[in-house]
Amino acid sequence: MKKILIIAVMALSFGAYAQVDPTFEKDGDKVKATYFHANGEKSQEGYFLNEKLEGEWKMFNEKGEKIAMGNYDNGVRTGKWLFWEGDVTSEVNFDNNRIASVNKASKKDPVVTNK
C-alpha cells in the first residue's frame, strides 16, 4: 500500500510539471502561435510575420481568463493595450514599444451614460 501511495504521489508531481507544446499554424503570410500553461490552458495567442510578433496578441491566466490584449507591429508593442487584474482594467498606450500613458478603471468606478 505504501508503494502505491508513493508511486501515485510521484505520478501527480510529474504531471504537475508536464509541458504542453505550443502550436503553430500557417495563416497566409503569418504564422498563428498558441502557447499553453502546464495545465493545458492557453497562455498566449497571436501571430508572427517574418519571425517577429505581429498583430493582435492575447494573454490568459491558468484559469483561461483573458488578462491582456494588444497589438504588435514588426515586433514592437504599439497602440492601446488592455490589462485585466481582478476588478481593475488598465489601458496602456504604447508608442514605439514605450509606455506613453496609463489609465486605470475599476468596476466600482461610476460610469456616465447618455440615454
Each domain of the chain, given as residue ranges in start order, spans 20-106
pLDDT at 91 over 50: yes
Decide: 56 and 70 in contact? Cβ < 8 Å.
yes
The domain 20-106 is classified under which CATH number: 1.10.3470, 2.70.98, 2.20.110, 3.40.50? Answer: 2.20.110
Q: Is the pLDDT of residue 31 over 50?
A: yes
Question: For residue 32, is pLDDT > 50?
Answer: yes
Predicted confidence at residue 110, as pLDDT, reads 66
DSSP state of 109: S
How far out from the chain centre does Cα 38 lie?
14
Measured at the CA of 65, the angle between CA 55 and CA 70, to 5 degrees, comes to 20
Query: For residue 10, what pLDDT is reported?
Result: 44
pLDDT > 50? residue 28:
yes
The long-range contacts involving 14-22, CB below 8 angstroms and separated by at least 24 positions, are: none
Within 10 angstroms of residue 54's Cβ, the number of other Cβ atoms is: 20
DSSP structure class, residue 55: E
Average pLDDT over the chain reads 85
